Structure 1
Amino acid sequence: MQATSYTFDPETRSGSVLLDDGTPMPFDSAAFDAGGLLLLRSGQRVRIETQGEGEQRRITLITLQTL
């Protein structure tokens, strides 16, 4: 699934993305670390993997979107 980076705190390595429908979704340091990224800027297109459904859905991986 694709999204757009919205917020990122380099100290905690957590932040949030905006899904393509505009819904914000947070991610934690485990999801950030799983993608191997060092930094994330607001507005970057990212690829995310999620787990769970509804209120329990969470991001498990975040990486940069490449063509």
Structure 2
Amino acid sequence: MQATAYTYEPDTRSGSVLLDDGTPVPFDAAAFDAGGLLLLRPGQRVRIEVDGGGPPPRITLVTLQTF
């Protein structure tokens, strides 16, 4: 699934993304670390993976979207 980076706090390695419908969804350090990123800037296009749980979705991976 694709999203746009919305917030990122380097000290905690957590933040949030905006889904394409504008819904903000938070992610934690574990999801950030799983993607192997070192930094994330608001506005970057990212690929996320979510678990199969109910709403709200829980992000398990955040990485940069590449074409």
Report the TM-score range of the alignment, normalised by the length of the smaller protein. Answer: over 0.9
- The runs of 5 or more residues in structure 2 that have no matched partner are none
Which residue of structure 1 lines up, in the alignment, with residue 22 of structure 2? Answer: 22
Structure with greater proportional strand content: 1
For residue 66 of structure 1, give the secondary structure of its aligned residue in structure 2. coil
TM-score by length of 2: 0.96
Moved over 4 A (4+): none
For residue 31 of structure 2, give the secondary structure of its aligned residue in structure 1. helix
Structure with greater proportional helix content: 1
TM-score by length of 1: 0.96
Aligned residue pairs total 66
The one-letter amino acid of 2:58's match is: R
Identical amino acids, percent of aligned pairs: 77
Q: C-alpha offsets along residues 5-36 of structure 1, whole Å, 9 cap, x if unaligned?
A: 00000000000000000000000000000000
Give the alignment's Cα RMSD to 1 decimal.
0.6
